[in-house]
Structures are given as structure tokens and as C-alpha cells.
Structure 1
Amino acid sequence: MDIGLILGLVLAFGSLLAMISMEGASVSALLLPAPMMLVFGGTIAVGIASGTLRDFLHAVKALPRAFRGERRTAQSVISTVVGHAEKARTEGLLSLEQGVSDEKDPFLRQALQSIADGIDAEDLRILLEDEIASAAARNRTASRFFMTLGGFAPTVGIIGTVVSLTHTLEKLDQPETLGPMIAAAFVATLWGLLSANFIWLPIGGRLQRLGELELERMTVLMEGMLAVQAGAAPAHVAERLGALVSDARPGKDGKSKGKAEKKGREESDATSSLSEVGL
């Protein structure tokens, strides 16, 4: 479980509470039911209205994932694919069907079953790319919904403030109540800004990043299983997939890559020097 979102929210609201405490203010002055109900209820309502009910349901379904984080990364599935490559090399592609029922990842399970069924490599690539495209669309829908809430929340807060100030102006004959009423009016704007920048936008950004990691993992699985189907050696599969992973740990391959890049730069510099002297 990746606690990045939880940790960030705790630190954000903790900083706010620390500021309130240092200024000698009261937290209860911010916890007013009326403006909070308008900001949260109104923001979610206009968020639903700006899309479809299906978008809202996708976003609600994806919310636990934002707190839980990505359970399997692209780096972690390389060993799984290499294991399938070793099995396919020694026992044949049909042996992959034995692990279909035990595989929890539906994407990998579909790839294993398709290979065992003898599907053509090009058809398999099209099938898996369609699955990746569908997953990308779902991820965009969920993250976009929370980003939309982050855009609406400050404006809804301003609406709440305007409504409260309108009510305050009706009480000009009661000067002793103007101060508390004006302060309460600005609570709506505060919650609009807080909910946008402390809740909705971080959740939307988190889901967007998790979606990118999921697509990276699925791409690694697709390329790996296509290599397995082609009969590639397990070592070659591991090297190929390691090059696709952005957070792959540096090792022997990393050193080789560094040497290759250094050699490439030296050759480029040499070419530039020759060009300057007109050779």
C-alpha cells in the first residue's frame, strides 16, 4: 500500500491546523455546517451534471485505489513474465494454459489464454492494445472527474460567500452581529479553496499518475508476452522489459547503457569536430 496520498493530506491539513493554532484562532469557527454543505454538496452536484452518471460511478469506484496506490508495478511483473518465458521454452506454449486459472491479473490471464489458444501474434497485439486503450479511457474518466471538482469548488465557495454577504447586508441595523456574520460568510470561500487544493486536485492527480503506472505495467506485460510467444530467450525477455521500465534499478544493464551513451556522445563530438574543420 502506498500511503503517499494519506500522508500528503495529513501534512496539508496539519499545516492548516498549525497555522490556526499559532494565530490563536478556533478550529470550530471553520467547521460551519451551512457553507460546508454548499461547497461539498454543490461541487459534487455540478461535477455530476458536467459529465455522465457513469463517469461519476467510475470515479467513486476508483477512489479507494487513490488511497491504496498501485499494488503491482511494471518492475514487479518482469520476473513473472520471465518465469512464463522459461516455462514456454522448456514445456511449450501450451503449458502456459496451466497457469491461467491461478493468475489474478486479468490482463495477463487473457494474454496467457490467448497464447495457449494459438492466436496469431498480430491479433494478440491488437487485442492487448485494445485492452490497454480501454484501461486508459477508464483512468482518464476517473481522474478528470476529480480534476473537474477541483475547478468548480472555488467558484461554488464564492457563491456561498456572496449568498452569506447578501444575508449580512440585510442585518445592517444590527452592527454587533456584522463581524461574526462576515467572518462566517468567508468560510464558504475558504472551504472552496481548501477542498479544491487539499482534496479534489490531489486525488485527481494521484489517479492520473496511477493510471500512467498501470499503462506502463500493461505495456510491459504485452511486450513480454509477445516475446514469449515468439520464443525469445528468458534473458532477452528480461533485458527487453527492463529497458521499458522507467524506474528499473541500475545494474549491469544500467552500466552497459551508460557506456553506450558515453560512446555515442564521444562519436557525436568527433563528428561535430570533423564538420567544423570541413572534413
Structure 2
Amino acid sequence: MDFASILGILSGLALIVSAIYLGGDFHIFINVPGLMIVVGGTIAATLLTFQFKDVLAAFKSAFIVFAQDRTKPQQMIHTMLELSKVSHRNGLLALANVETTSKFLKRACNLLADAASEDFIRQTLQTEIDSLIARHFTVQDIFKKMASYAPAFGMLGTLIGLVQMLSQLDNPDTIGPAMAVALLTTFYGSLMSTMFFLPIAGKLRARTLLEVQNLEIIREGAISILSNDNYLNVYERLSSYIPEAQRQPVNLGKGG
């Protein structure tokens, strides 16, 4: 569970709701037609822009980002060092028996066990990384587009409310409430954009960068194992992917 994201959403909503509650009647900020315009319009525009399966995949990815813990690069370096020890003790063929939940790591192990060439391993794994970046870009773009659609439909709802208000200028008592309702759609659009869609897109981008970093560690680790580098050389090669302050000292005794 990504507690930072959950904490950010809950604290942000709590502050906004508290400010509304302390400032007056909370019920005046509830307008069903305005929500229909903003939410319905944003969903409709998104479905017009992207394929339905891509939109579903985007929301699924967002849920995964919030629900699953991330794998730290230091942990991935440790994994590749363990595989290096396995290959030195039992040979490359033993890597075919490695069990892991990472399909990318499993493929790298299979390529090593099959004695593929360095160029083939590098190109194959790089293609996988490029494909992942392209898929994740689509997911991020969906939420970025939704972040731009929501305020636009909020403004559209405001214009609709203003037209309805201006049509009743002969009744001054209705102008104030009608103006408040008209402005609520802009509020809804801005809230959805800045509180949900843009942060989710940013979180997805950060998670993509982290995942790509882990995949690159696997790729370079596989190349090092294929080259029969010793334990320390593998560590030095992979540790360059993380800041020096986060690097953990290598235990040469375990490395053989």
C-alpha cells in the first residue's frame, strides 16, 4: 500500500472539506446537475479520445500504483547479485530454474540459460523496456487529458448556469443562488483536476521511472552475469543506477 498517496488524498480532501464546513453551509456546495456535466463530460471526452480498453487499463494501473508497494532499486541490485552467485556456483543453465514474479527478470534468466549472445540479450530486453515506456505513456496521457477536460467542462457548466441566470434577470432574488450554482461546476472541474487526475498522472510517471530503473538494472545485471564478471564488478556496475548515499556496502564474503 502506498501510504504517501493515500495520506495525500485524505489530507487534501480533509482540508478542503474543513474549509468549506468552517466557511458556511456545506450543502450549498452540492449540485447534482453540475456534477453530471463535469463527471459525465470528462468521461465522454476521454472515451472519444482513447480506446475503451486503454481507459480501463489506465484506472486499473492507477489502482495498482496505490495498492502495491514499489520495488526499490537497491533490492533489485541485491537480487542480481544473488543470481550472479548462482551462475558462478552452478553455471548459467541453473538460472532457468529461478522462480520470480517478475516476467522481465524471468525472461532475462531464460536468455542467459539459453546462452544467448550479449547483443541479442541487450536488444531483446531493451525492446521490452521501450514497450513498457510506451504503454505507460498512454496511461499517463489519459489522466493528463482528463485533468484538462475536467476544468473545461466545469467552465462549460458555468456558462450554462450563466445563461439560465440571465434568462431570469426579471427576478433579482434568484440571481445570487443561480450564480453560486453556476460557479460550482468550475469548482468541481478544478477540484477533480488538481486533486485527483494530475496527482495520479504524476504518481504514474514516478512509478514508471522507478520501474524502468529496475528493468535497466536487470538488463545490465544480465549482461554482467553473461560476461562472467565477479561479484564486486557486478555490484559496481549496477550501483551506478542509484545515488551514492543510498548504496549499501557489498559483502565480499558472500560473493565468493
Query: TM-score, normalised to structure 2's length?
Result: 0.92
RMSD of Structure 2 on Structure 1 (CA): 1.7
5+ residue gaps, structure 1: 254-279
Cα distance in 1 for partners of 2:116, 2:80 equals: 18
User: Quick one: percent identity of the two aligned structures?
Assistant: 29
Cα distance in 2 for partners of 1:31, 1:225 equals: 56
Change (3 A) 1:66 1:250: closer
Change (3 A) 1:35 1:247: farther
1:20-39 to structure 2, matched below 5 A, reads 20-23=20-23, 25-39=24-38
Cα distance in 2 for partners of 1:238, 1:252 equals: 9
* Alignment-derived partner of residue 72 in structure 1: 71
* Count of aligned residue pairs for this structure pair: 250
5+ residue gaps, structure 2: 251-256
Do the aligned partners of 1:69 and 1:210 also contact (CA within 8 Å) in 2?
no
Cα distance in 2 for partners of 1:52, 1:107 equals: 26
* Alignment-derived partner of residue 139 in structure 1: 136
Cα distance in 1 for partners of 2:33, 2:169 equals: 21
Cα distance in 2 for partners of 1:205, 1:58 equals: 17
Cα distance in 1 for partners of 2:244, 2:151 equals: 36
Structure 1 residue matching 2:121: 3-state secondary structure? helix
1:147-166 to structure 2, matched below 5 A, reads 147-166=144-163
1:26-175 to structure 2, matched below 5 A, reads 26-68=25-67, 70-99=69-98, 102-175=99-172
Cα distance in 2 for partners of 1:139, 1:202 equals: 15
Q: Which runs of 4+ in 1 moved over 6 A?
A: none
Give the deviation of 1:248 after TM superposition. 5.7
Report which of the two structures shows the higher radius of gyration computed on alpha carbons. Answer: 1
Give the deviation of 1:224 after TM superposition. 0.6
Do the aligned partners of 1:58 and 1:138 also contact (CA within 8 Å) in 2?
no
Do the aligned partners of 1:146 and 1:204 also contact (CA within 8 Å) in 2?
yes
1:114-263 to structure 2, matched below 5 A, reads 114-246=111-243, 249-250=246-247
Structure 1 residue matching 2:240: 3-state secondary structure? helix
Which amino acid in the other structure matches residue 143 of structure 1?
Q
